[in-house]
Amino acid sequence: MKKTVVVFCVVLAAALSLVVLSGCATSATTAGEADDSYSKADLKTGGLLYDKWQKVRGIDTAGSHPLYPETGKKKGDTTFRCKECHGWDYIGKEGRYSKGSHYTGIKGLYDSRTKSPEALYSALTDTGARHDFSLYLADESDIWALVKFIRDGQIDIKSALGPDGKATGSVSRGKTLFNSNCSSCHGEDGNALDFKGKKNGVQGVGWLANDNPQETLHKIRWGHPGSSMPSAVVDRGLSDSETVDILTYASTL
Ligand code: HEC
Ligand code: HEC
């Protein structure tokens, strides 16, 4: 009798520890899968998707984004772009889009960079919040790429640009970097490619750097969707401050 109880207890203990172990194993796999998807996520793709994911993936959207405010001045395609609601400068209503035709009153994502990959992933796939981008970006690696961009790709705009809105880097370092990383396509004067083709002169790198330094810095760092332009951060391995140096020189062109 005693022996039976002991055997029973040993079996029970073994069964319990199996349950406990398998319970641990299951949750470890789930967390591990997220970790793995996150560690494989492509930062450059994230930066380009933030700019204009429809262009990167060849997707057409209908109407305006359900979260775009009715009082906002934009409509259609552009209202689906991350930058349209959260800003080129990543500080939304606190920054360049605090007023004017791009105003939405929506916050930026710079302060969200410290949130966990899982929390950011759910913010981007949460149907309840009408902010579910997996409706359009079917491949979940694109969502993870955006998560990686939010965590590792954003630059502190307040150190990149001074209170006067001018880039704070070094013109001379920027010149060397521009001539080795940009001029082969954009020309030494930055005007070999005309972005908008308006009649008042060529609108090249110098023009955009002055007109919209926040957008120009994002393009320098990640490239331009649908073009051959490299990412200075990923393809050229430049540091944050070197990308600001390029912007600083570009604004003298
Ligand atoms: C039409 C406007 C709009 C667009 C487009 C948009 N968002 Fe948002 N997003 C919001 C709003 C509104 C919130 C909620 C902000 C709040 O809590 O105040 C939000 C919240 C978020 C959050 C959660 C932030 C946090 O700290 O909790 C993340 C992450 C985010 N957006 C990323 C993105 C990304 C990446 C894209 C592009 C794929 C994008 N958003 C496109 C409006 C938009
Ligand atoms: C391999 C060629 C190539 C290189 C190198 C390159 N770019 Fe570009 N860049 C392009 C192309 C192509 C476009 C798209 C032009 C268009 O849409 O008319 C572009 C677009 C841009 C834009 C945005 C234009 C817009 O319409 O918004 C900026 C700003 C820019 N480049 C700056 C730079 C800077 C600064 C560098 C160096 C860090 C650089 N580029 C390196 C090819 C290049």
> What pLDDT score does 94 carry?
97
Of all ligands present, the nearest one to the C-alpha of 90 is 1
Q: How far is Cα of residue 97 from the mean position of the Cα atoms in its chain?
A: 17
**Block means of pLDDT (10 residues each) for the chain, length 253 residues?**
50 50 46 84 98 97 95 96 98 97 97 97 91 95 98 98 96 98 97 84 93 97 97 98 98 97
Q: Residue 167: CB within 6 Å of ligand 2?
A: no
Ligand 1 pocket test: pick from 43, 52, 65, 86 the residue with the most ligand atoms within 8 Å of its Cβ.
Answer: 86
Residue nearest to atom 36 of ligand 1 (CA): 82
Facing residues of 167 across strands?
161
Q: How far is Cα of residue 41 from the mean position of the Cα atoms in its chain?
A: 12
Residue with tokens 């008042």: 200
> What pLDDT score does 31 carry?
66
> What pLDDT score does 145 carry?
98
> What pLDDT score does 23 carry?
43
Q: Residue 249: CB within 6 Å of ligand 1?
A: no
Of all ligands present, the nearest one to the C-alpha of 52 is 1
> What pLDDT score does 34 carry?
78
Residue nearest to atom 39 of ligand 2 (CA): 182
> What is the distance between the alpha carbons of residues 236 and 226, in angstroms, rounded to a whole number?
18
Q: Residue 115: CB within 6 Å of ligand 1?
A: yes
Q: Residue 205: CB within 6 Å of ligand 2?
A: yes
Instruction: Classify burial at 144, counting beta carbons within 10 Å of its beta carbon; exposed 0-12, middle 13-18, buried 19 or more.
Output: buried
Of all ligands present, the nearest one to the C-alpha of 61 is 1
Q: Distance, CA 78 to ligand 1 centroid (Å)? A: 14
The tokens describing 164, both together, are 């006067």
Q: Residue 227: CB within 6 Å of ligand 2?
A: yes
Residue nearest to atom 33 of ligand 1 (CA): 82
Ligand 2 pocket test: pick from 51, 179, 193 the residue with the most ligand atoms within 8 Å of its Cβ.
Answer: 193
Do the beta carbons of residue 231 and residue 153 sit within 8 Å?
no
DSSP state of 136: T
Q: Residue 112: CB within 6 Å of ligand 1?
A: yes
Q: How many helices (H) and strands (E) does the chain have?
A: 11, 0
Nearest to 152 by CA among 121, 114, 125: 114
> What pLDDT score does 65 carry?
96
